[in-house]
């Protein structure tokens, strides 16, 4: 696990987006695993600038997102599909047919999950971007999720719903379930970049960097991967040393 420590969110975003930019320059046909939440927004803004400067193109890029709420449509402003269009895809030359955000079709949850995992196995993600939840969740893999878990429907913990309520009018509007790549799907990516910034991630960063591997803390599975870069800022390092 390589740790890159930066001063603040902007520097973290630059360090992380440069990893993607350089990889895209080398291989414009890359398969990217993408994430939502507030952490990746700066990375996406930088990648849009890199695209506008003519440094990179998304024309031949394929993307697979980590997760999506269950029970809201793709048109809902808080859906992760909407988020990705709004924060990245609408601003670059990606072919929307190459965009994949999991979706749990009503009455076909099991099939939806199976199909997503099967596709991920076929394509093999080159770089997977991750944020981290305060409780160590990656994607929506909450504590106690098996490291062998593939794409599944998860019941969100109260903590996660509480953390995400800032995007909704009230906690009651936050969906109770989500479809998410499982830890096993995430671990199949060739490279993983995790970004964690701000004081509210300090506890999670401390636990991640302790090196302990336990299903109580899903992100600790990353210690079993041989190419992980963790990008953190000073505030997130508050509880270290
Ligand atoms: C959500 C997402 C995760 C994300 C986490 C942290 O629960 N499903 O993929 O990593 O929130 O979000 P943020 O970056 O906003 O702190």
Residue-level pLDDT at 38? 94
What pLDDT score does 69 carry? 97
* CA–CA distance, 34 with 67 (Å, rounded to integer): 9
User: How high is the pLDDT of residue 55?
Assistant: 98
What's the gap in Å between 37 CA and the centre of ligand 1?
Answer: 4
| Dihedral pair phi/psi, residue 104, rounded to 5° | -95, 100
Q: Residue 135: CB within 6 Å of ligand 1?
A: no
Catalytic residue (one of 135, 141, 163, 233): 135
pLDDT, position 163: 85
Residue whose structure tokens are 């893999």: 141
Classify strands 127-130 and 191-196 as parallel, antiparallel or unpaired.
parallel
131 lines ligand 1 (CB under 6 A): yes
The encoded tokens of residue 195 equal: 């970004």
Distance, in Å, from the CA atom of 148 to the CA atom of 114, rounded to the nearest integer, reads: 14
Active site (annotated) includes residue 162:
no
Say what the pTM is: 0.96
Q: Which residues of the chain have pLDDT under 50?
A: none
Nearest to 174 by CA among 47, 70, 52, 81: 70
Ligand 1 centroid to residue 92 C-alpha, Å:
23
Q: Tell me the C-alpha distance between 12 and 43, whole Å.
A: 8
Q: Is the CB of 35 under 6 A from ligand 1?
A: yes
Question: Ligand 1: which of 16, 38, 39 to mutate, judged by most atoms within 8 Å of the beta carbon?
Answer: 39
Any atom of ligand 1 within 6 Å of the Cβ of 39? yes
What is the per-residue pLDDT for 114? 98
Predicted pLDDT of residue 159: 85
Q: What is the pLDDT of residues 20-69, one digit of tens each?
A: 999 999 999 999 999 999 999 999 999 999 999 999 999 999 999 999 99
- Cα atoms found within 13 Å of the Cα of residue 9, Cβ hemisphere only: 14
Nearest-angstrom CA–CA distance, 21 and 88:
14
138 CA to middle of ligand 1, Å?
7
9-26 vs 41-52: helix crossing angle, rounded to 10: 50
Q: What are phi and psi of 238, to 5 degrees?
A: -50, -35
* Residue 218 three-state SS: helix
Q: Look at residue 160 in the predicted model and tell me its pLDDT.
A: 86
Nearest atom in ligand 1 to 195's CA: 14
């Amino acid at each position: 696990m390589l740790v890159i420590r930066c001063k603040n969110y902007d520097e973290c975003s630059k360090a992380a987006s440069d990893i993607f930019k350089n990889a895209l320059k080398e291989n414009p046909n890359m398969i990217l695993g993408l994430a939502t939440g507030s952490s990746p927004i700066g990375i996406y803004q930088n990648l849009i600038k890199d695209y506008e400067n003519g440094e990179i193109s998304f024309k031949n890029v394929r993307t697979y997102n980590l997760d999506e709420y269950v029970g809201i449509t793709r048109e809902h402003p808080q859906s992760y599909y909407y988020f990705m269009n709004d924060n990245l895809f609408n601003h670059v030359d990606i072919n929307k047919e190459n965009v994949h955000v999991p979706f749990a079709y009503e009455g076909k949850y099991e099939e939806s999950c199976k199909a997503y995992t099967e596709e991920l196995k076929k394509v093999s993600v080159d770089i997977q971007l991750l944020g981290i939840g305060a409780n160590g969740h990656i994607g929506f893999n909450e504590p106690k999720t098996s490291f062998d878990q593939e794409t599944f429907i998860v019941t969100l913990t109260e903590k996660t719903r509480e953390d995400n309520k800032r995007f909704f009018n009230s906690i009651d509007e936050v969906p109770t379930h989500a479809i998410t790549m499982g830890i096993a799907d995430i671990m199949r990516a060739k490279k993983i970049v995790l970004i964690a910034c701000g004081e509210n991630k300090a506890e999670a960063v401390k636990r991640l960097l302790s090196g302990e591997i336990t299903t109580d803390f899903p992100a600790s599975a990353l210690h079993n991967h041989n190419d992980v870069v963790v990008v953190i800022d000073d505030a997130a390092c508050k509880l270290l040393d």
